[in-house]
Amino acid sequence: MPSNLPKQIKESLAKFVDEVEGSLDQWTSARDPAMFRAVEQEIGALARTVADALTAYVLLAIVRDPTTQAEASSAARRAFPGQYRHGGRRSVTVTLLGGKKVQFETEYLKPNRRGSPQKRRNGNRGKGGAGLYPTLAALGIWFGVTPALAGEVCRQVTDSDSVRTGRAALARRGIMLGHQRTLRIVNLTSQRATEQRQRWLDSAKSGEARSGPLAGKRVVVAVDGGRLRQRQPALRGRRRAKTGHRGYETPWREPKQLVIYVINRRTGAVEQSFCPVYDATLGDCDTVFDMLVGYLKALGAHEASRLIVVGDGAKWIWERTATLADELGIPQRKRTEVIDWYHAVEVLYSVAEVPARWSKAQRERWVKRAKTWLHKGRTDRIAPMIDDLARGRRANDIAKHRDYFVRNHDRMQYAAFKKQHLPLGSGAVESAVRRVVNMRLKACGTFWLEENAEGMLLLRSYLMCGRFDDLIDWSLASSAAWWPPASASRELDRGPLLHAEPLAA
């Protein structure tokens, strides 16, 4: 610790005390809600100022320490041999959590392009890529902001319905960032976390399963799809005179949402001792099931007492559940597949709409009788009831509904499932789709680039299941895994699932 650091902090605190004492008369003169609210806001802003001042002193003390600089530079060069060379010291500006900007010089490693026959063009970094500030990277400072600020910006924008709303929430805390810079922080952070998450899942999927928090538990897995609009820029056509851009198309895409949680053996209620896992991707059906294998292997689901897969009637789900269980090494006797009860009943109502001359009462009676058999798991009694209605021009339309109940007979044993305290519905994943996709990515007039949507799906999923801070901490540590203290302080091989504790009450 520098010898002058305590003195600087004391001077900063003394200045803070003087400002407080000078404002006491004004503050204590508040006599109505509006005045007292203004007092609270002024005190909060003053506290943020002194907090940033203390953070700035600590940051400067760390980055100016020659030992820390030498160790960080050596560690980076050992991790990337031949990729970087000494680039001298460069001036950088870092924004702190309270919005204060600090400018200082620190060591820079520039890309090693020696021996490369290609010349660097204007605006192109070339194959060597970007350089590295090793001391800042060791502290988790990327994109010109501290790790706490990067996490707060990502959290506010992810939790809000738009970037504008997120920026307004940040501004109330004194963090004034432009629209483009806010987008840059969120997009770069989320895209890097997505790449890291995918590498970790691939490693977990291909590696050996190990014990984890799901060992001996009743694990429920649910998968479902949502909807969002993707922005696809046109490759041909005239450019607009004002912007110079071509038009774009906005096709619908179906992000796949996964949910993993644990239920109680005796009651079937959700276990609060395990924080659920949410994740989502714009990838195809195989991609989301590969993600499931990675998560379940990392959490020790191969030692679960039972694996319950819940979903609607989509064929793409049930065509892959057997492969999922086989890759985890879970035998048939330990796995159960459940069709969501409400989706099955919805199909019954669709069947009841076929007879054009039926009254509303007749349709209700038919559905009520069919639901009685459905609850008992007697789909063999429902099939003849549907056959009786499959007449005339609409016979082919109703045949697919008959096949639905015949094909999913074993997944509709609801009376047996209820006795075993198993979930009968897919409400968990339906809720996740609503909160993750619909409330953030499906807004009217909102169109997403694929890479930005993939990153937002990851951030939003981890935010909604209470693992957002784990994701940010793990991503920052993984970005500088070459730094020994970071590797020692974080179990990077556990991925973003650093904790299994439930949400705070």
Per-residue pLDDT of the chain (505 residues; tens, 9 = 90+): 566 778 778 888 888 898 888 999 889 999 899 999 999 999 998 999 999 999 999 999 999 999 999 999 999 999 998 888 888 999 999 999 998 999 999 999 998 876 655 555 555 554 445 789 999 999 999 999 999 999 999 999 999 999 999 999 999 888 999 999 999 999 999 999 999 999 999 999 988 888 889 999 999 999 999 999 999 888 777 787 777 777 888 999 999 999 999 999 999 999 998 999 999 999 999 999 999 999 999 999 999 999 999 999 889 999 999 999 999 999 999 999 999 999 999 999 999 988 888 899 999 999 999 999 999 999 999 999 988 887 777 677 787 888 899 999 999 999 999 999 999 999 999 999 999 999 999 988 899 999 999 999 999 999 999 999 999 999 999 999 888 775 545 567 778 886 655 444 3
Domain match, 135 and 274 both: no
Number of domains in the chain: 4
Does a structural domain hold residue 306? yes
Predicted pLDDT of residue 121: 56
Domain match, 53 and 94 both: no
Does a structural domain hold residue 160? yes
Does a structural domain hold residue 49? yes
Q: Classify the phi-psi angles of 140: left when phi > 0, otherwise alpha if psi is within -120 to 50, otherwise beta.
A: left
Residue at 197: amino acid letter: R
Does a structural domain hold residue 135? yes
Domain match, 98 and 180 both: yes
Domain match, 329 and 392 both: no
Domain match, 398 and 432 both: no
Q: Which two tokens stand for residue 96?
A: 């702190």
Residues 374 and 414: beta-carbon distance below 8 Å: yes
Domain match, 450 and 486 both: no
Predicted pLDDT of residue 3: 64
Predicted pLDDT of residue 2: 64
Domain match, 93 and 184 both: yes
Predicted pLDDT of residue 503: 43
Domain match, 216 and 306 both: yes
Does a structural domain hold residue 441? yes
Does a structural domain hold residue 387? yes
Predicted pLDDT of residue 127: 47
Domain match, 307 and 442 both: yes
Q: How far apart are CA 464 and CA 222, in angstroms?
A: 16
367: which strand partners? Answer: none
Q: Which two tokens stand for residue 487?
A: 């590797």
Does a structural domain hold residue 122? no
**CATH number assigned to the domain comprising residue 460:** 3.30.420.40
Q: Alpha-carbon torsion 356, 357, 361, 365, what sign?
A: negative
Domain match, 213 and 301 both: yes
Domain match, 30 and 134 both: no
> Given the structure tokens 């005179």, which residue do they identify?
241
- The closest alpha carbon to 48, from 1, 103, 104, 95, belongs to 95
Q: How far apart are CA 479 and CA 139, in angstroms?
A: 10
Beta strands in 96-180 (DSSP E): 101-111
Q: How far apart are CA 350 and CA 398, in angstroms?
A: 9
Does a structural domain hold residue 121? no
Torsion of CA 315, 321, 327, 330, to 10 degrees: -170
Torsion of CA 177, 179, 184, 189, to 10 degrees: 70
The domain in which residue 23 lies consists of 5-63
Largest distance between two CA atoms of the chain: 93
Predicted pLDDT of residue 402: 86
Domain match, 105 and 159 both: yes
